[in-house]
Amino acid sequence: MRRTIGLIGCGLLLGTATVFAQQINKEQYRDAAPKDLIKQTALNEQQLSTIQRYFQFELKDTKRGQELQELLLQKYPKGATARLAAFHKASSAKTMEALIAQSEDFLKAFPYDEWHKEPIGQEFIYYTTYRTLGSSYFDTKQFDKFLELSSPLNFKTENELYRWNVMRATVFKIVGPDTLFNISTRMINELVKKVNDGSYEEQGVFNKETAAANAAEQLDNELTNHITLLHSMKKYAEAKKYFPHLSAKGAYGKAELNALHLDILQQTGDQQAIQPFLENCVRANAMTAPMFDKLKEIYTAKNKDGKYDQYLESLKSVNDQEALIAEVKAGMTNKEYVPFAMQDPEGKTVRSSEWGNRIVVLDFWATWCKPCISAFPGMQMLVDKYSNDPQVAIYMVGTMQYDNYKEKSEGYIKQQGFRFHLLHDNIDKATGHQDAVFRTFVPFFNSSGIPRKVILKDGVMRYTAEGYSGSPSKLVDELTYAIELLKAEK
């Protein structure tokens, strides 16, 4: 027994530190013997644990610390100290088989329902155990056990099992679609029912309002995954039923999901719903090019007044547009950059010194960067918008690629059908990395993250922004505002 306690060691003792916040005058027990302390009826388990940590960590008296810990385990075999010890033992399993068996044994010995009657801390133990055991069941394809484990859990924990397992399986296609459909459907239906259970509420982390907002955001993510799965299986009518469960923010705020929603409305023949839906997407500024085309088609079929552009502008949120303009203005700058030259796919050299007073947009990207390529539909919209404007040029600069970087960049753009003017960043002779031009701009950003948009004019960097909001239409608006501000300069 003493050897087992020693192996639990510091991790166990530190783990209990956040569980018990009992106010106690520890100094009065400086010289107390553990066997005498354990007999004192005035001291409960929490207070004894505080004294135990005092011995172990403050007085550095390992012998008395371990002795008192052993006595605590003996006196409270189902108490918090024993629970944490059992949790650490289960977590230390070396094989998947052992991890499953020991986690199951832990839940039998220390049932969640019994702890929940007097939940004095230690929720992390059950959250971690269910997450670990659920993932183990999923990875070993014990899907019946996975679902049986998930169903009684609160929203917070079941949502984590869904996020970590079902969403991952959807993205990487590691489980057959029919099996995944059955698992996802059952769990999504349960999450919809549990979303308001308050399980994210935690003192110092989430209050009631922020916990509810977080739960709604999490459910939006899982619903998006489920709808995407159903759409890929052409279960359009079933997918349509889940849109009403999205939050007000999630219903129209994601352009990719909106594009799926439009297709589902078309596939189910719900023509009357399409125009109001698209109008809401415009208000949320989360539109794709095909969505704009559809809205224009509907409007012009009903109205011959030639006022589509005015109609479109009337749908946009004035407050959101003003906020975006303010954000763009905050990104405006005035810094001279190091002149450069890069090659395009045809081997032609493009020199910054030859741009003069043209407004030049550079988008630094890489094929391995998901936000970069997610922004491509928006960049294509921007390219199309300014295709006949001789004052504006837009270049997509492939950077930080590896191996055959030219083939990777050119191949991806060709495969996806984008019509970009591509440039290849140069190789840094000192490091061998393909980022020579991008690195000359990095000191201005204090960041090396991509995607990175840069707008140049007259040998000066005039605007810069990092990241992607997730909306093609918002990206177009952002860069359009910056371009038009520069065009308006005298």
Q: Are residues 133 and 10 in the same domain?
A: no
Report the alpha-carbon distance of residue 15 to residue 122 in Å, rounded.
9
Confirm if 5 and 70 have CB atoms less than 8 A apart: yes
Looking at the fold, whether 118 and 10 belong to one and the same domain comes out as no
CB burial of residue 63 (10 Å; 0-12, 13-18, 19+):
exposed
Count of C-beta atoms within a 10 Å radius of residue 234 = 10
Q: Do 77 and 99 reside in the same domain of the chain?
A: no
Residue 306, domain member (yes or no): no
Question: What is the 8-class DSSP label of residue 334?
Answer: E
Last residue of a domain, one of 221, 249, 277: 249
Specify the pLDDT at position 116: 83
Residue 284 within a domain: no
Residue 480 lies in a domain: yes
Q: Of the candidates 370, 369, 372, 363, which has an alpha carbon nearest to the alpha carbon of residue 393?
A: 363
Residue 23 pLDDT: 66
Is the previous residue joined to 451 through a cis bond, with omega within 30 degrees of 0?
A: yes
58 with 122, same domain: the answer is: no
Q: Are residues 416 and 352 in the same domain?
A: yes
Query: Three-class SS of residue 175?
Result: coil
Judging by DSSP bridges, how do beta strands 349-351 and 422-424 pair with one another? unpaired
DSSP result, 387-405: TT-TTEEEEEEE-S--SSH
pLDDT, residue 24, reads 81
Q: Same domain for 239 and 377?
A: no
Q: Does 237 lie in the same domain as 341?
A: no
Model pLDDT, residue 119: 77
Q: Which of 202, 231, 249 is the last residue in one of the domains?
A: 249
Same domain membership, residue 132 and residue 235: yes
The reply to whether 76 and 164 lie within a common domain is no
455 three-state secondary structure: strand
- For position 297, what pLDDT does the model report? 97
Which residue, 220, 249, 278, sits at the end of a domain?
A: 249
Residues 367, 481: one domain? Answer: yes
Number of other CB atoms surrounding residue 100 within 10 Å: 19
Q: Are 158 and 215 in contact (CB under 8 A)?
A: no
The tens-digit pLDDT sequence of the chain (490 residues) is 333 333 344 444 444 444 444 568 889 999 999 999 999 989 998 899 899 989 999 999 999 999 999 999 999 999 998 999 999 999 999 999 999 999 999 999 999 988 888 877 888 999 999 999 999 999 999 999 999 999 999 999 999 999 999 999 999 999 999 999 999 999 999 999 999 999 999 888 999 999 999 999 999 999 999 999 999 999 999 999 999 999 999 999 999 999 999 999 999 999 999 999 999 999 999 999 999 999 999 999 999 889 999 999 999 999 999 999 999 999 999 999 999 999 999 999 999 999 989 999 999 999 999 999 999 999 999 999 999 999 999 999 999 998 899 999 999 999 999 999 999 999 999 999 999 999 999 999 888 999 999 999 999 999 999 999 999 999 999 999 999 999 998 7
How many whole angstroms separate alpha carbon 256 and alpha carbon 325?
23
In the chain, how many domains are there?
Answer: 3
- Would 6 be classed as within a structural domain? yes
Residue 378 maps to which CATH number?
Answer: 3.40.30.10
Is 139 a member of any domain? Answer: yes
> Are 482 and 333 in a shared domain?
yes
Domain that holds residue 442: 329-487
337: nearest Cα among 447, 458, 425? 458
